[in-house]
Structure formats: structure tokens, C-alpha cells
Structure 1
């Protein structure tokens, strides 16, 4: 799953990047975005494209204790929970990196994943309105060669050339489904980060600082 991400870009830069009208009041860039928090998403309807805040996680019981923060992108068309949103309520979630952790056998070590040029990118998402609150979840796909040594799933990054198609409600479903694919590995890189990322309360630029791997695990994970 993708349970944390980074969005350290100012709202006006995000709005320009995705050609959206910003409707964001109070929000600050984050280096450790987590479920239940409010974060910017880009949505599009007949009127136009907007950048607005939404809560990360779809609530799925009356107590509010069950959250859906991710969905497997390649399965959403076949599941009633997501089918309508996939057809009519797609969004992108601006990010500059996301985190994944090694499987328990590797000691739950956090890793950051980003584009080599550190440019912002769009994570595919779905949104809904429930109880007067707009919320979103992130879509995941099978991991590419950069992410797979750490985790078998990765955030579904929508290539810049296909963002318009993903956001447009009129895009035919067969085309939408082709966009739910692993991002090419060549423009991406990964590095180990501090376990301070594990605590949601920690949110500072230093979380992205590479941590030396004294165990040799990095070499074994990413050795060709």
C-alpha cells in the first residue's frame, strides 16, 4: 500500500502545474502526509479544474474507524465500491515523493521514492462526498523495478502527458484503465530514509535526507 507521501510544493505552484483554480484556504506543505489529514487534490468537472482540500481516506463504517486509503487500480473497474468513482470521480493527488517500507523480513525500513529531477508528479486517486466531507484515496499498481525490491505495490503515477485524459470524466473507460499501470523506472530513484518517518507527528524536510545503509541491505536490494 501507499500510506505516506510528500507534497512540499506551494499551492500556487501546484495550481499552475495542473492548470487548476486553487480553492485552498489553510494548508502547509508536508513531508509526511498521512491518512485522515487534509491534502490538495485536483478534480475536474464540466465547469473546469480545481485544486481543493480533501481528507485522505474513505470512511466505511458509522464509527469512522474503517478507512480505505488505497485501492488496487487494476481491480477498481470490477468492484462495486469503486466502479462509479472510477467512471465519474477521478482525481490526481500532487506529490513530490512517496514512502514505502520493506517487508517485515527486512526489518520495516522506510524508503523514499521520487522522480530523479524532483519534479512534482500526480498520483491517481478517486474522490467521494460523504457526510458533507470530500475525501480521497490513492490508487496503487504493481511495483516497477525501482520499487519492487522494497514493496510489491507502488503509487499509480499518472504521466504528465496523460493527466488530462485521467481527469476528464468523458474519457472512455478502456482508455482510463490503460493509465492504471506502473510508472517507468528510468525517471525514478529510491533511497533509504530515517525511521522518524514512521511517526506521523514528525513532519520536516529532514525526513527526506538519505540515511547511509550500514547493513549492506541497499546493495542487496537493488543489485542488478
Structure 2
């Protein structure tokens, strides 16, 4: 499961890209100062887009994950067979990471070997949006989690699940609470969507 992402996207670029899509953007907490971050981990804060009460979207910074059963963080959430009638969001990212076991080396102890880290970026785009849901939690306030699905061809060699990436043309539909959950959006990414490189 994805447990690390990156966001080096300026708020101005997010605003301009949503303007191009004719999605009005609001800043209920004021324009956030999004410092470039190559590593955002569970419980860190990151920018999300969610439906605004006055229409369009709002850009806010919230915590990644809320405490689940037995205190374990809910940072990924399976999308299959579920309906998301409200509290949808788009998680701003320019990369997410997956980890694989390194090739076996009998000279090294198995326990001490570091995993290989792989960065997934969206081919031809400066940033992308991961489908998520958010909720208010009594202990941590508002927080978000990423939706996952079966892996597409670019991710399958690295992990058995992938985060759901929503295409730009569908951002408005995903955010609009009046639109029924479009299950067609919660699908594995097609081949060639991601550039993959060792991080």
C-alpha cells in the first residue's frame, strides 16, 4: 500500500490548472503556503481539494490518515464495492512511492537489507490527483485517506494494489456531491500513465 507521496506543487499552479478546467477554487483557510516536500508520510499534512459549499472546490491542508481500530492509521482504503456519496477529495501529488524487496544477496543478512524505493510520476503532467475521502475525527480533526484499487500495468510489477488516480477531465465529477459515485473513475490506471524511476 502507498505510504509515502510527494507534493512539490505551488498553490498558484493548482489554482491556474483548476481555472483552465472551469472549476472555481476557494481558500477557506487562506491561500496555503505549500512548501515543496519530496516525502510526505502517514500523519503528515498535505493539500487536498474538496467540494466547496458555494460551488467549485476548496484547497485546504489536512492530515493524512485518521486513527482506526486499535489505533492503526487509516491511510489507504479499498474502493471496490463501496459507494462514496459524500466527503470525496482529490489529494494533490506529483509522485507516490512503492517499495520492493531487493534481489537476494546471501552475503547480506535478510533483516538488514533496505527495500528498493520507486517513484511514480504522471507522464506528461507536472502533478496529478489521487482519489480520497476525508472525515472529521475527534482526536485529530479533519483528515484524509487514499482510495486504492487493483494495480494497472505500470504498478503491478511493484505492488498488488495501487492508489486511484483521477484524470483531470473527471476532477469536477469526482468532487461534485450531486454526482453519484462514478465507479468508472475508480479503476486501475492504463499502461503508460506513469513514469517509474528508482528514488
Q: TM-score range by the shorter chain?
A: 0.7 to 0.9
Q: Distance in 2 between matches of 1:118 and 1:169?
A: 26
Alpha carbons of structure 1 residues 7 and 162: separation in structure 2 relative to 1, 3 Å? same
Where does structure 1 lack aligned partners over 5 or more consecutive residues? Answer: 78-85, 194-224
| Counterpart pick for 2:48 among 33, 41, 45 | 41
Residue 72 of structure 2 corresponds to residue 66 of structure 1: yes
- What is the count of residue pairs matched by the alignment? 181
Distance 1:68 1:104 in 2: 27
How large is the RMSD of aligned CA atoms in angstroms?
Answer: 2.1
Q: Which has the higher strand share?
A: 2
> 1 or 2, which has the higher helix percentage?
1
Q: Secondary structure at the match of 2:80?
A: helix
1:21 aligns with 2:21: no
Alpha-carbon distance in 2 for matches of 1:71, 1:105: 30
Counterpart check, 1:144 vs 2:152: yes
Shift of 1:66: 2.0
Deviation at 1:60, TM superposition (A): 2.2
Unaligned runs of 5+ in 2: 105-113
Contact 2:10/2:34 (<8 A) preserved: no
Q: Counterparts of 1:76-95 in structure 2 under 5 Å?
A: 76-77=82-83, 86-95=84-93
**Residue equivalent to 1:32:** 39
Q: For residue 155 of structure 1, report the CA deviation from its aligned partner.
A: 1.3
- Deviation string 1:48-82 (CA, Å, 9 cap, x unpaired) is 31000111002225x8x3210001111433xxxxx
Per the normalisation by structure 1, the TM-score is 0.74
1:191 to 2:158 alignment: no
Residues 1:97 and 2:92 are matched in the alignment? no
Whether the 8 Å CA contact 1:103–1:150 is kept in 2: the answer is no
**8 Å contact from structure 2 (residues 11, 33) kept in 1:** no
Contact 1:45/1:168, CA 8 A, preserved across alignment: no
Could you tell me how far 1:17 is from its partner in structure 2?
Answer: 2.0
Superposition pairs of residues 95-174 of structure 1, within 5 angstroms:
95-103=93-101, 108-131=115-138, 133-173=141-181
CA contact 1:45–1:169 (8 Å) conserved in 2: no
1:187 to 1:3, Cα distance in 2 relative to 1, 3 A? same
Other structure's SS at 2:115 match: coil
Alignment of 1:3-22 (within 5 A): 3-18=3-18, 19=23, 20-22=25-27
